[in-house]
Amino acid sequence: MDIAALRDKHPEHWRKAAAIRTLTLDAVAAANSGHSGMPMGMADVATVLFEKHLKFDPKAPKWADRDRFILSVGHGSMLLYSVLHLTGYEEVPLEEIKNFRQWGSKTAGHPESEYLDAVETTTGPLGQGIANSVGFAIAEEMLRAKYGSKIVDHYTWVMAGDGCLMEGVSQEAIALAGMQKLSKLVVFFDDNGITIDGKVSIADITDQVKRFEASGWHVQSIDGHDPEAIDAAIEAAKADPRPSMIACKTHIALGSSAQDTAKGHGALTDAKLIADTKAAYGWEHGPFEIPADVKAQWEAMGARGAKAHAEWRERFDALSERKRMEFERAFAAEAPKALSAKIRAFKKEAVENAKAVASRKSSEMVLNVVNGVMTETVGGSADLTGSNNTRSGDMEVFSPENRSGRYIHYGIREHGMAAAMNGIALHGGLRPYGGTFMAFTDYARGAMRLSALMHQPVVYVMTHDSIGLGEDGPTHQPVEHLSMLRATPNTYVFRPADTVETAEAWEIALSTSDRPSVLALSRQNLAPVRNEHKTKNLTEQGAYVLREAGEKRRAIIMASGSEVEIAVKARDILEAEGIGTRVVSVPCMELFAAQDEAYRKRVLPAGPVRVAVEAGVRQSWDRLLLGERGREPKAGFVGMEGFGASAPAETLYEKFGITAEAVAEKVKSLL
Ligand SMILES: Cc1ncc(C[n+]2csc(CCOP(=O)(O)OP(=O)(O)O)c2C)c(N)n1
Ligand SMILES: [Mg+2]
């Protein structure tokens, strides 16, 4: 690579890009860890994008109509931090660059959206960013249709590497974006041909350009170090009505002795290598030193957005007060005031006209009420709309022809759906929920974990939540999933027992702004257990006394969802034999854990025998079964110990011993 030729051809550009490269070298050297090669390779693309195209205002990182810049190749975090520092984001002073990857710094190893306002999405798990970006671009289309292009009209720019494109989730994302004709989505592919183990060709010979083209994308291939070519490609991408992919041929760790090798991927910390590289760059400044003229040019790029932002503000202020308040409420992820009253009325009606329904159906009934008062909800399913019951009657389908549609056919792409929902939630202004069979949370897991890590209020409608789905058999019957989901921090896992609890769970999920919720819903009908109307949302306490012991209390049976009915029947058996038994419904363990100790002890006093029943594995119940201190209760569990089987649901409950009789026997064996 003839670095001198690059320098000579575009000397002004070169110095701006070199600032990214040298800040990266210095920060990685100081941290003695990190990834130098990607920022060194993609610095030219970043410079042209920020200088000529990106709509942003460092003084207002959360300006609603900013362009979204997504670093899908998260290990290249120093590229982002460098640019944020250079353009004048106050949250990234030079101190933060010097403290890259250290305790308490905002410049984490990979970009964390929780740490910096300017980080649009947490990346690091390869493939997530590009899949999130599809959600960002969908959100932009929807909101442009809703509020008009004077209020919402921006691009979503992505940098993705070989790793992102090798990950399966990228295929789901690319296919969905192409079909949806997301014209304001532009992906820069860092086509450097290198990953950790060596050349990409040791594991992949895909023609990425053809691959994107096959899914309906506009594609270009350019020299990623030529600023004129980069600029022209961006112009062409903007002009095309399809999503665009620009394959940028780059040299990883450009200009260093590690260039074009796997060594260049990681931390380049050798003092001589760094000195030689800076010499090749013609960079004669000390560590972390940015010459004033270069810094001034970057700051000028940062200042450019202030005007666009001010003009946008004027247009926004000209909206009716109602529109403005709705926009701001939705961007703050606040539920409308009307929601609670609607839910209360729904609950009353559900008690008055009590009937056995599947909780997936109850969920649809709730959505029919909710979606009318919350116009920011965006529904969807991974090709199981009729099974997940996710589409309420008033929802039109989102498509290239109908950007006002609020329902997305994500296709059979659970992971892509979950990642897109993260993007929609992160964009702001919309509240996504989406469904699949609960067993396939495994397929969505990578993105579900990030919903939790990023505190995004995505709602996962996971139906067919146990062996109760019956004949489809063990592949489709979740067994370990409830425990896995409950083990995930920052996640509410709701398993409602009937229509009333389902409505309460939805109310909480839609009133929550800082974490995802999973609704575990049954395929089979559930008998109503909440037979008396209570305006209070009992699910909010996570667990509560559903039936009190008639006789002196000797046992407590805990259950969730479809097994609450079994717990109530077991209580009948035991009470008939003079064994006083309380039933505790546990729709949300996380919320119960958040109650004060006095309440928890009131619901689960130490004395009586405790038995939990759930058509899943025991693991997540231990905390409730074993008590917290003092005398340990005698405890037992009725549930699954292995995978399910293919048969009618009633047979399965019988054969796996999840019955009222078995629960009553378990209690008696412990007394
Ligand atoms: C899902 C996932 N798997 C594995 C990794 C570990 N990892 C980090 S970077 C990388 C290689 C990425 O290659 P590429 O995208 O080409 O980046 P480059 O080496 O060009 O910087 C791998 C395997 C990861 N971060 N995420
Ligand atoms: Mg690579």
545 close to 592: Cβ distance less than 8 angstroms: no
Which tokens in the block code for residue 71? 């670093």
- Residue 629: predicted pLDDT: 61
309 residue type, one letter: H
Residue nearest to atom 21 of ligand 1 (CA): 38
pLDDT at residue number 626: 87
Residue 40's H or E segment, with its range, is helix 37-48
Ligand nearest to the CA of 79: 1
Active site residue 414: yes
Exactly one of 172, 414, 507, 665 is catalytic; name it. Answer: 414
Residues 388, 367 contacting (CB under 8 angstroms): no
Predicted local confidence at residue 632, as pLDDT: 72
Please tell me the distance from the alpha carbon of residue 10 to that of residue 225, in angstroms, as a whole number. 10
- Which pLDDT belongs to residue 628? 66
Atom 23 of ligand 1 has which residue's CA nearest to it? 196
Question: Which numbered atom of ligand 1 lies nearest the CA of 265?
Answer: 19
Report the pLDDT value the prediction gives residue 564, as an integer from 0 to 100. Answer: 98
Q: How confident is the model at residue 306, as a pLDDT?
A: 97
Pocket test for ligand 1, best of 126, 169, 192 (most atoms within 8 A of CB): 126
Nearest CA to ligand 1 atom 13: 195
> Which of 164, 196, 254, when mutated, tests ligand 1's pocket best, judged by the most ligand atoms within 8 Å of its CB?
196
Backbone angles phi, psi at 282, to 5 degrees: 70, 30
How many Å lie between the centroid of ligand 2 and the Cα of residue 39? 11
**Segments of the chain with pLDDT less than 50:** none
Q: Measured in angstroms, how far is the CA atom of residue 395 from the centroid of ligand 2?
A: 42
What does the alpha-carbon distance between residue 74 and residue 71 come to, in Å, rounded to a whole number?
Answer: 6
With 0-12 / 13-18 / 19 or more C-beta atoms within 10 angstroms meaning exposed / middle / buried, residue 244 is: buried
Residues lining ligand 1, Cβ inside 6 A:
37-38, 73, 75, 124-126, 161-164, 167, 190, 192, 194-196, 252, 265
**CB under 8 Å to 555, separation ≥6 — which residues?**
549, 574, 579, 580, 581, 582, 608, 609, 610, 611, 667, 670, 671
Nearest alpha carbon, ligand 1 atom 8:
75
